[in-house]
Amino acid sequence: MIGGLFVYNHKGEVLISRIYRDDVSRNAVDAFRVNVIHARQQVRSPVTNMARTSFFHIKRGNVWICAVTRQNVNAAMVFEFLNRFSDTMQSYFGKLNEENVKNNFVLIYELLDEILDFGYPQNTDPGVLKTFITQQGVRTATKEEQSQITSQVTGQIGWRREGIKYRRNELFLDVIEYVNLLMSQQGQVLSAHVAGKVAMKSYLSGMPECKFGINDKLTIEGKGRPGADDPAKSTRTAVAIDDCQFHQCVKLTKFDTEHAISFIPPDGEYELMRYRTTKDIQLPFRVIPLVRETSRNKMEVKVVVKSNFKPSLLAQKIEVRIPTPPNTSGVQLICMKGKAKYKSGENAIVWKIKRMGGMKESQISAEIDLLSTGAADKKKWNRPPVSMNFE
């Protein structure tokens, strides 16, 4: 696993050093400084191999964090540990920079003793670490606190402490989805995917177990496919998700067997689930741009926005950005709904609509005055796509 861990400043000076295995020598410190930090050309790869030694590194502000190993390790796991180590330090003393690392070097060494054992990552959850490591050092715990620490370090519920009490139990769940779409000039969909997440806020007493069911037609990479005996029927009715990621509190066994999400929630705000799908996406809006050059110094633009969702739904904070040529001298705007403004610094017309119901249509017309330029300058402007954001 990890043979050594080093923290450098922007000059290449070692701020934190900890070697876990004998196969990593002190020469690795100089090798990384010379070949990466002080390299003549910028090193873009996060992994550098030198003399059969691998250096995994990330940079946070003016601080480099580097893990060294001579073994064939899982690179994704090493980077996950480096990022969690960085997040843990920031949860203790705020911004990660050279001054804060120097002022809290004793605390950092205490953290390394807990999160790395002979080079193997252990518990990196700041909520658990803060129960027995404080900024002033290790505090003396009572017998009750010691039993609580032991249960959180060795048990299965390290993300939630015991003894939480609220006067009123509350649980909030929000499903947030982002639609990313790219269309051609002819209106064909080139690429489309939906990235969603389930954000929760829980203010519950004790150790409650929460559970909610999900759509029985949901399939994830071929798991739990409904109507397996009839593939044609399955394709028509299934809601396919390409991949998903759960918070560590979710019991995955119950998700596979019962098609439900069961979990003991952390306290406060957290992200329970993140997912992504690229199949059978129904476009919530359709944007139809029409551009016509009336003369060498004038251009007419018309953009029609149509909502394709149910009339009972409502879209809010709609913003359509229409690019304009860099030699635009003036714009006259007429819009059916909302407000539109030409922003010369951004070379774009920004059209904002507060809200829009389903199965509705709205349009904007613009007459653009252009400055006289040479033919060579005119060719440089390749019409960028019209972009749209909404909630």
* pLDDT for residue 238: 60
pTM: 0.52
pLDDT digits 0-9 by tens, 294-350: 888 888 999 999 999 899 989 999 999 999 988 889 999 999 899 999 998 888 999
79 in Cβ contact with 73 (< 8 Å): no
Q: Cα–chain-centroid distance for residue 107?
A: 29
> Which residues of the chain, if any, have pLDDT below 70?
134-156, 216-239, 374-381
Homologous superfamily of 170-277 in CATH?
Mu homology domain, subdomain B (2.60.40.1170)
59 has which bridge partners?
64
Nearest to 123 by CA among 149, 153, 99, 143: 153
Which stretches within the chain are classed as H helix? 27-32, 75-93, 98-103, 105-115, 126-129, 143-154, 231-237, 252-258, 375-379
130 in Cβ contact with 172 (< 8 Å): no
343 assigned ligand-binding residue: yes
* pLDDT for residue 336: 87
C-alpha span between 139 and 154 (Å, rounded): 19
Q: Which CATH architecture has domain 4-154?
A: 2-Layer Sandwich (3.30)
Homologous superfamily of 285-389 in CATH?
Mu homology domain, subdomain B (2.60.40.1170)
* pLDDT for residue 320: 92
Q: Provide the sign of the torsion angle of the four alpha carbons 144, 145, 150, 153, taken in this order.
A: positive
Long-range contacts of 266-269 (CB under 8 A, 24+ apart): 266/127, 266/159, 266/160, 266/202, 267/160, 267/161, 267/164, 267/202, 267/203, 267/204, 268/201, 268/202, 268/203, 269/199, 269/200, 269/201
341 assigned ligand-binding residue: yes
Tally of CB atoms within 10 A around 342: 18
CATH 2.60.40.1170 location in the chain = 170-277, 285-389
14 contacts: CB under 8 Å, gap ≥ 6: 6, 7, 8, 29
* pLDDT for residue 340: 93
324 in Cβ contact with 345 (< 8 Å): no
* pLDDT for residue 24: 82
* pLDDT for residue 66: 92
354 assigned ligand-binding residue: yes
